[in-house]
Chain A
Amino acid sequence: MEALIALAIGVLVACGIYMMLRARTMDVVIGLTLLSYAVNLFLFASGRLTNNAAALISPDAAAYADPLPQALVLTAIVIGFGMTAFLVVLAIRAFGDLGNDHVDGEGRK
């Protein structure tokens, strides 16, 4: 299972970075979104993988998942949304002001 998760995270990173290296703003936003999935999964997985062990205190729970990475990732997801929104709006503004959606603000060559 660990190998499978590692593979999935690796693919997400690779796809995210490839998209971030594209020249169009929307592609960069998509790349960043993919990369933040990967980062969130990575942080979450650093607390190790467990089944049926949600960190809800109850007398008959056998084990608990590590709550600390979960708390970190929860805020990271929300902040990630804020960042994506900001980037998207920046992209729209750049498109409106510059007339094209190239990250370097250049026209089509």
Chain B
Amino acid sequence: MTLLLIILIPLLGTLLAPAAAVRGRMGAAVMAGALTATALALLFTLAPRVFGGETIVVSWAWMADLGLYFSLRLDGLGLLFALLILGIGLLVILYAAYYLSPKDSMPKFFSYMMLFMGAMLGVVLSENLILLLMFWELTSLSSFLLVSYWRHRADARQGARMALAVTGGGGLCLLAGILLLGEIVGSYELSVVLVSAELIQSHDLYTPALILILLGAFTKSAQFPFHFWLPHAMAAPTPVSAYLHSATMVKAGVFLLARLHPALAGSDLWFYLVTGAGLTTLVFAAYVALFKHDLKGLLAYSTISHLGLITLLFGFGTPLAAVAGVFHIINHATFKASLFMAAGIIDHEAGTRDMRRLNGLFKYMPYTALLAMVAAASMAGVPLLNGFLSKEMFFVETLHLQRFGDWAWLIPVLATVAGIFAVGYSLRFIHDVFFNGEPKDLPQIPHEPPRWMKVPVEILVVLCLLVGMLPAFTVGPLLATAAGGVLQAPLPEYSLAIWHGFNTALMMSIIALIGGGLFYLLRHKLFDLHGRLLPNEFGAKQIFDILVKAVVDLSRAITRLLENGSLQRYMALLVGSAIVVGVYAALQHGAMSFDMSASSMPVNAVSVTASIALIVAALATVLFHRHRLPTLLMLGVVGLFVSLAFVYFSAPDLALTQLSVEVVTIILLLLALHFLPQESQPESSSARRLRDALLAGTAGLGIAALTWAILTAPFETLSGYYLEQSVPGGGGKNVVNVILVDFRGFDTFGEITVLAIAAIGIHALLYNLFVNPNPAGPHGWATSRPPLLLSVICRPLLPLALLVALYLMLRGHNAPGGGFIAGLVAGVALVMQYLASGLDWTNARMKIDYFKVIAAGLAIALATGVASWFFAHPFMTTTFTHVHWPVVGEFEVASAMVFDLGVFLTVVGITMLILAELGKLSGAVKQGGGR
């Protein structure tokens, strides 16, 4: 639980820090600092157990089926990283409070900062790999926010975007890798994964899993060739660089290497990939760092180089190398964080970071200079400082490597070369900035920074000295615990002494120091040479930019092709793709079988005639479509024949529904025609028409073939249950209706709700709409009087029709009928009044609020469902009983019939609302026109 709090407290700070800012400018910083200190104190309460060799694991099931647990783990490695994150985080918060200018928003900064801190703690304390990945992505996102903190600056935005693209892309690779790993092991829990090395490394999926995971680690830790984002992320405020780009985020990659070391390391593939990337990065970045004029640029490349060193050590795969790697993680975090802070102080006080202008600052800020010099010396690997110790261990390891065979000498030589470069750029950092003459036209006269801005640097530099001089007493236990956490095995023998006698490693250090000194003396000539050999910096950034541009151009082209704003084209693409997918599926599963003998029903003259009539009417609809009135009539004919088909094939309910819907639809379309052009303009070219005909024809053929194949295939249905249970379970003989209102009542409830929503949508669409109806036209039908005969007949017909509707509804449970059909019939009867007697006459007599009818219908349907709760049954359980009514006889009364009443009312309301709204529209227009 404490473990959870350690992560949650900083995450909480994301909200609390800005909230505290109402109490003045420093409020956010104080709150962030207090929360960080609390989390650190909690960590200290757990630390003794970890030092005692315990691994603390807590777990909550999250989505256990997917192997996802919210499980946390604190072992030596996690403890070390949590200490770095919280400890250096605390120092950075203090530093940032003085670094940020009054123009910069403190709440925003500390909010992002706490978010990042929580995410980072999540990464290092996760036991579940998927959980780890989630926090990993959160670090990418929060670092994006931090790097782009000065969002008015283009370089900050670009740098942040590049960092997000590279590390986020790496995160996706990592996700894939972790999924493969989980597939191999059968669990995402580290405690299982870490002891499954043999299983993992002998598995076929080991290679892809390893490569994907390494891609994640290398992008995060800025390993060559993914290093280029880190220098551009230097556009961030310096506290961010000191925190993210020295101690925490970029260390997440090497953390991952260390974390999965027991499971993945040791194979040849691991060795070559990891040492290869590490070695290249180490030497290459150290070389580039030499020639940077920007202080932070130098530090950025130096960081890349040191990350390469750590990666290289983990690549060796030996226990001793892992110990050295952990040791260098600690040392690099301390000296590099202090160097970044010192660089920030210089920038802050002198107004520039350009080493060609910064000279002789020792005079102006001797105290800061001293601190920076100690830290830089540690970076160079000068004895008595912590950087020296881990570098010595590194040199020793390079000498003991057997794996390269005849090429074994290469690694120590390259390591020494990188050491020379490191001494060279460290010297440059010290000498160019603090000595080397006088400053050149600085924007302001530099002076010592505020007291508290130096305190974090002092603390870190003192640590460098203490660790460097008394390693066994200071860092010894922590290193042993952390290395134990990495190896998950007993530690190898190693000694933390400063003096190991004159050995090859010491010689390498001496060569590096002397070589670096020489290099610095000759720097002017070398700068010239470098300038001549590599005049243009054509590097990974340019390739990245070209790639990004290519991707953007490609997506633009695809968008233009597919999404040109024409719905017509979308429709054609949609149909085309459906055809392609359908044909593909048909080919995949073999040709569809057409068993002619399975055809059960004989063809007779009536069915042939009806089919031909249907087909002819459908074709006529298309052929005459430019003239809309005949088209609608043809459409009505199609609908009638579809109803007849339902009658013929034993579906009386469907036939009734189709028939009444047909009437309502045609009335609706005719009404619409009143407002829309009565003829379609000839819009399409003949090529377009041919294309559409081909598409439509192919689709029709496909569906016809599919239908035939289905109809002649062997038949199995699950309807037996409904047929058996209809009477005993639902109390109704009409199975279709019983399914609708009882078995699948909940679906029906959903459907009438959808209808109600459609009606409300129609109401909204027609609100405040002004259209000019078609002029009277050749037929003059828009303004003509209703025929007298029709209105006379229709008026007495209304009560009769309503009675029929009632009858249909009541008998619906046992005979064709039911709420839907009754509702439509009643709707048609009411609409007939509008048609026969005109709008004004009918409106004056039918003052019904159809919204209330719909609402009542829905409420009744819902109430019958809810009622079953009161009888301790699940939602929409129905009941029925037999009633004997004189004259009518015995019949069942089912609660489902009440539900059907709800359906009835909703359908009536909706039909009337839709038609009446349209009708009202024409009325409104008429009045408007009259004015």
Contact for B657 among A41, A77, A82, CB less than 8 A = A77
Chain B nearest CB, measured from A26 CB (Å)? 5
Q: Are A21 and B696 in contact (CB under 8 A)?
A: yes
- What are 25 contact pairs spanning A and B, CB under 8 A? A3-B708, A6-B704, A7-B611, A8-B645, A14-B697, A14-B700, A15-B621, A17-B699, A21-B575, A29-B669, A30-B631, A33-B639, A45-B710, A48-B711, A56-B733, A56-B734, A56-B815, A57-B727, A57-B733, A70-B653, A86-B761, A90-B765, A91-B672, A103-B567, A104-B567
B675 interface residue, CB < 8 Å from A? yes
Chain A nearest CB, measured from B617 CB (Å)? 10
Q: Are B910 and A82 in contact (CB under 8 A)?
A: yes
Closest to A14 in B: B700
Chain A residues near B701: list those with CB within 8 A: 10, 14
Chain B residues near A74: list those with CB within 8 A: 653-654, 657, 736, 740, 820
Q: Bound complex: CA of A65 vs CA of B571, how far in Å?
A: 36
Q: Are A79 and B575 in contact (CB under 8 A)?
A: no
Chain A residues near B727: list those with CB within 8 A: 57
B-side interface mostly? helix
Given contacts A6-B704, A30-B621, contact A103 B603 (CB under 8 A): no
Which residues in chain B, 641-683, are within 8 Å of chain A measured between CB atoms?
A: 642, 645-646, 648-654, 657-658, 661, 664-665, 668-669, 672-673, 675-677, 680-681, 683
Chain B residues near A55: list those with CB within 8 A: 650, 723, 734-736
Q: Bound complex: CA of A68 vs CA of B771, how far in Å?
A: 44
Q: Are B739 and A68 in contact (CB under 8 A)?
A: yes
Chain A residues near B677: list those with CB within 8 A: 24, 26, 95, 101
Chain A nearest CB, measured from B630 CB (Å)? 12
Q: Bound complex: CA of A23 vs CA of B705, how far in Å?
A: 28
B615 interface residue, CB < 8 Å from A? yes
B769 interface residue, CB < 8 Å from A? yes
Chain A residues near B625: list those with CB within 8 A: 19, 22, 27, 30
Knowing that A49-B600, A57-B727 touch, tell me 12 more A-B residue pairs with CB under 8 angstroms: A2-B712, A3-B599, A5-B707, A11-B704, A44-B654, A48-B715, A71-B736, A74-B657, A74-B736, A81-B665, A84-B669, A92-B672
Closest to B756 in A: A82
Q: Bound complex: CA of A53 vs CA of B771, how far in Å?
A: 50
Contact for A46 among B692, B710, B739, CB less than 8 A = B710
Chain B residues near A34: list those with CB within 8 A: 618, 621, 635, 638
Chain B residues near A30: list those with CB within 8 A: 621, 625, 631-632, 635, 669
Q: Are A70 and B651 in contact (CB under 8 A)?
A: yes
Given contacts A8-B611, A26-B672, A37-B642, contact A77 B650 (CB under 8 A): no
Q: Are B758 and A86 in contact (CB under 8 A)?
A: yes
Q: Are A104 and B681 in contact (CB under 8 A)?
A: no
Given contacts A21-B692, A86-B758, contact A95 B642 (CB under 8 A): no
Given contacts A11-B618, A19-B622, contact A51 B650 (CB under 8 A): yes
Q: Bound complex: CA of A20 vs CA of B658, how far in Å?
A: 22
Q: Are A58 and B661 in contact (CB under 8 A)?
A: no
Contact for B650 among A42, A65, A71, CB less than 8 A = A65
B918 interface residue, CB < 8 Å from A? yes
Which residues in chain A, 54-107, are within 8 Å of chain B measured between CB atoms?
A: 54-58, 64-68, 70-71, 73-75, 77-86, 88-93, 95-97, 101-104
Chain B residues near A2: list those with CB within 8 A: 598-601, 708, 711-712
Chain B residues near A58: list those with CB within 8 A: 733
Chain B nearest CB, measured from A6 CB (Å)? 4
Closest to A81 in B: B661
Chain A residues near B755: list those with CB within 8 A: 78-79, 82
Interface centre among B628, B675, B735 (most CB of A within 10 A): B735
B747 interface residue, CB < 8 Å from A? yes
B487 interface residue, CB < 8 Å from A? no
B695 interface residue, CB < 8 Å from A? yes
Q: Are A104 and B568 in contact (CB under 8 A)?
A: yes
Contact for B816 among A3, A56, A64, CB less than 8 A = A56
Number of B residues, CB within 8 Å of A: 111
Chain B residues near A56: list those with CB within 8 A: 733-735, 814-816
Q: Are B740 and A71 in contact (CB under 8 A)?
A: yes
B534 interface residue, CB < 8 Å from A? no
Chain A residues near B921: list those with CB within 8 A: 92
B413 interface residue, CB < 8 Å from A? no
Q: Bound complex: CA of A84 vs CA of B919, how far in Å?
A: 16
Given contacts A57-B733, A74-B820, contact A4 B607 (CB under 8 A): yes
Contact for B711 among A6, A19, A80, CB less than 8 A = A6
Given contacts A13-B703, A44-B649, A90-B765, contact A22 B672 (CB under 8 A): no
Chain B residues near A90: list those with CB within 8 A: 765
B614 interface residue, CB < 8 Å from A? yes
B139 interface residue, CB < 8 Å from A? no
Closest to B744 in A: A71
Contact for A23 among B614, B668, B683, B704, CB less than 8 A = B683
Contact for B703 among A10, A27, A84, A93, CB less than 8 A = A10
Q: Are B622 and A15 in contact (CB under 8 A)?
A: yes
B722 interface residue, CB < 8 Å from A? yes
Q: Bound complex: CA of A71 vs CA of B745, how far in Å?
A: 11
Interface centre among A65, A78, A86 (most CB of B within 10 A): A78
B41 interface residue, CB < 8 Å from A? no
Q: Are A89 and B704 in contact (CB under 8 A)?
A: no
B887 interface residue, CB < 8 Å from A? no
Chain B residues near A16: list those with CB within 8 A: 696
Chain B residues near A44: list those with CB within 8 A: 646, 649, 651, 654
Q: Are B635 and A42 in contact (CB under 8 A)?
A: no
Q: Are A64 and B723 in contact (CB under 8 A)?
A: yes
Q: Bound complex: CA of A11 vs CA of B614, how far in Å?
A: 9
Chain A residues near B765: list those with CB within 8 A: 86, 89-90, 92-93
Q: Are B736 and A89 in contact (CB under 8 A)?
A: no
Q: Are A85 and B914 in contact (CB under 8 A)?
A: yes
Given contacts A2-B599, A7-B615, A81-B665, contact A57 B735 (CB under 8 A): yes
Q: Bound complex: CA of A75 vs CA of B739, how far in Å?
A: 11
Chain A residues near B618: list those with CB within 8 A: 11-12, 15, 34
Q: Are A45 and B567 in contact (CB under 8 A)?
A: no
Q: Are A41 and B696 in contact (CB under 8 A)?
A: no
Chain B nearest CB, measured from A96 CB (Å)? 4
Contact for B707 among A9, A23, A86, A104, CB less than 8 A = A9
Chain B nearest CB, measured from A99 CB (Å)? 10
Q: Are B652 and A54 in contact (CB under 8 A)?
A: yes
Given contacts A24-B683, A34-B618, contact A51 B707 (CB under 8 A): no
Q: Bound complex: CA of A88 vs CA of B710, how far in Å?
A: 34
Q: Bound complex: CA of A66 vs CA of B632, how far in Å?
A: 32
Closest to B815 in A: A56
Which residues in chain B, 206-244, are within 8 Å of chain A measured between CB atoms?
A: none
